[in-house]
Each structure stands twice: as C-alpha cells, then as structure tokens.
Structure 1
Amino acid sequence: MEVRDSQVLAAMSHPLRRRLLDMLKLDGPATASVLAEKTGQAVGNVSHHLKVLSGAGLVVEAPELARDRRERWWRRPSEALSWATSDFVGDPVTEVAETVSLDRQMTLSRGWLSEMETAPAEWRDAWFSSDAWMRLTSAELAELNERMAALFAEFGAKAASDPSVERQSVFVFGRGFRAEP
C-alpha cells in the first residue's frame, strides 16, 4: 500500500497504532480484545486506535471471522506499507512519521540487546548487525533500497510457503541515507 495522503501517514504515526499494524501483519486478523491483551492496553483504547486506523484505510473489518454480531475482527488490507518523503515535502507529518518509525526500530533493537544474553544459543548466534559506508549516486541508493525490500519480501514469504516449520518473529530493518562520517 503506497501512502500518499498525509492524513493516512498521520494516522499511522502513533507508537501504539504502529504496533497494532505490526501485530496484524505478523499474526493476522485479531479482535480488539486479543490486541489489548498482547499490548497490555485497555480494550477501549485499542478499539479507539483501530477506528483511527480504519478511518485511514489501514485496517478493515473481517466480518467473516466473527462468531456473532458483537465480535469485530480486524485485518490489514495490504501486507506492505510504504511512503516516499518526497510526496510530503513541507508537511511536518513526515518528520513525525519517520521519528516514530526510528524510535520503534531503536526500542526493538535495545530490547534485543537487553535480552540477548538469556536468549537460546541458536538465536544469539543468528542475529546480526551490519553497517557500511559507501559512495553511491542517488540512483544506486534507490536500487539498493529496492533490492533490500525484495530480499525482505522473499524471506517474509517463507512462513506462508511452509507453515509446518516453527518460526519466531524477527524484526529486520535497514536505512540508507546521505551522511558524513
């Protein structure tokens, strides 16, 4: 889903709403009650944020999953969300969205570092942290982004292709931008 409306970007630029979107992507459809339990939030608070996400078209109801009229299930209409900051030049919501995203990435990274020593050995040995300085053109940086996104999509599809293998949730992120050492 290509986000081109700043109101949609603003709707997803909230830490809890980003987390709800992540959970619905990783675990599939859920009710507000299930999401509230997983996040430690009140059901009413989660319901409010789901309504905001729904108003922005970021989640939709899944009535086919409901057992009765009172039960409301929610799902993401699209697996991937992306936006180009160039679509929001001069709009302060861009910086907010990027800041929320970066804060989430750093929080998850710090969480892993704090639990790494007690994690099973195979997970301690499998994790990675990689960075590199390169000299690239803007077109080469765009190509690197496309190739990384394709690799992320390829590995993300493995769970759907073979659900018999036990998998753990894994967070992977990458950023590339112009900078000086």
Structure 2
Amino acid sequence: MDDPTPQTRRAREGIRTLTEARALSALAHPLRSRILDALKADGPATASRLAEATDQAVGSASHHLKVLAEAGLVEEAPELARDRRERWWRLVGRGTRWSRSEISDPAALAAADAAEALVWRRTSERVQEWLAADDGTGEWTDAAFATQNWLRLSPDELRQVAEEVMDVLERWSTREAPDDDVQRESIYVAARGFPSRP
C-alpha cells in the first residue's frame, strides 16, 4: 500500500485541518490562542487554572472556553472533575493546521490570515521576552537555538522539507518523557518556509 498523503497521515494522528470561518476566527483571538497553547503545553485544565496561566479573570477564561468549544476546538473532560461543579477542558485533537489552498470561503480566508498574523506576532513577542530575560549564562542559554537558511527548492521539495521538520517536532512532542530527575520546561519552536529575497 502507498504511503498516505501528509493530510491523511495528520488526520490519523489527530491533527485537524481547519477550513471553516468559526474555528479560524476563534484562533485569531489573542486570549483564545493563549488558552489553546496552555492546553497543548500543560494538558487539560479548569477555567480557573487557565485564567491563572493567562493572567485573566476566571469569567473571561470561561467565556472564551465556551467560544472555543462552539468552534469545535476544545471539549469538556467530565471524567477529570472531582464534583459536579468542577469543569475541566481539553483540546479536541492533538493539533490544528490550515492551508490557504484548502479554504474557499472568503470569510474563512480572512480569518486564516488573521490567525496566521497573530501566530507570528506572538512568536516575535516570545522571542523578545526570551532575549530580555536571558542573562547570557546557564544551561537554557546554551540549549536555546535559532536558525535561518536560504534554500533553492521547488514547491514539491519545500513540501518535503516541511514534512520532515513537522515529523521531527511531532516525534519530540509525543514522546514519553523519561522518568528521571532532569529539569524539563515547555519549549516553543516555530518554523516557516516561503519564497523570499535577501
């Protein structure tokens, strides 16, 4: 049997392809995006835990969780609740992706553009925060990395590079962390490849 397409393989791995405006619009909101990041990094949580993680009021976090649930991005996890008043939330799948080539609705396309702009604005802010906080010493300074490369590729070759990069990140994000005394932190890794000029 032939290898599945990247889209088929990602769907099997729980990576949802977004094409509808509602879900993409939810991703384009800064607090909702942060809530999704917290759930991805730390696992299921209550609205109060997410409010604490994002420096927001519990009511605000609760409202945005409901919007994310209506968009099909999060769901309740009732089996984690200790009583009927406690509400836990988790991501619906392992992750999301979108591609402009797969979106036909103009509203969804505008929402995808806004979500993409937010992702890269937040990436820039995270880099600036890291650089401002880093004193240039220590193991994390030594371990942190940044890379830039210029490649000459066809569209098919660029797709192959993207798949290889995503496979490496997927392998590391799904691995079972060893049961040892080694300090581990949430690590943010971002990559993007596109035609450009120096």
TM-score tier after normalising by the smaller chain length: over 0.9
Would you say the 8 A contact 1:6–1:88 is kept in 2?
A: no
Q: Is the 8 A contact 1:53 1:59 kept in 2?
A: yes
CA contact (8 A) 2:98 2:112 kept: no
Q: Give distance in 2, aligned partners of 1:86 and 1:62.
A: 34
3-state SS, counterpart of residue 170 of structure 1? coil
Identity of aligned residues (%): 44
Is the counterpart of residue 59 in structure 1 residue 59 in structure 2? no
Q: Which residue of 2 aligns with 1:92?
A: 110
Q: TM-score, normalised by structure 2?
A: 0.86
Q: How does 1:24-63 map to 2 (within 5 A)?
A: 24-63=39-78
Q: Cα–Cα, structure 1 residues 92 and 143, in superposed 2: closer, same or farther, change >3 Å?
A: same
**Partners in 2 of 1:126 and 1:168 — Cα distance?**
12
Partners of 2:112 and 2:186 in 1: how far apart? Answer: 28
Q: Which runs of structure 1 show a deviation greater than 4 angstroms over 4 or more consecutive aligned residues?
A: none
Query: What one-letter code is carried by the residue in structure 2 that aligns with 1:12?
Result: L
Distance in 1, matches of 2:188 and 2:130, equals: 10
Counterpart secondary structure, 1:75: strand
Q: Is the Cα–Cα contact under 8 Å of residues 26 and 67 in structure 2 kept in the other structure?
A: yes
Mapping 1:108-127, distance limit 5 Å: 108-117=126-135, 121-127=138-144
What is the CA distance between 1:149 and its match in structure 2? 0.3
Q: Could you tell me which runs of 5 or more consecutive residues in structure 1 were left unpaired when the two chains were aligned.
A: none
| TM-score, normalised via structure 1 length | 0.93
Is 1:132 aligned with 2:132? no
Count how many residue pairs are aligned between Structure 1 and Structure 2.
179
SS in 2 for 1:125: helix
Q: RMSD value over aligned CA atoms?
A: 1.4
Moved more, 13-22 or 163-172: 163-172
Q: What corresponds to 2:178 in structure 1?
A: 162
Q: Note the C-alpha offset of 1:100.
A: 0.7
**Gap runs ≥5 in structure 2:** 1-15
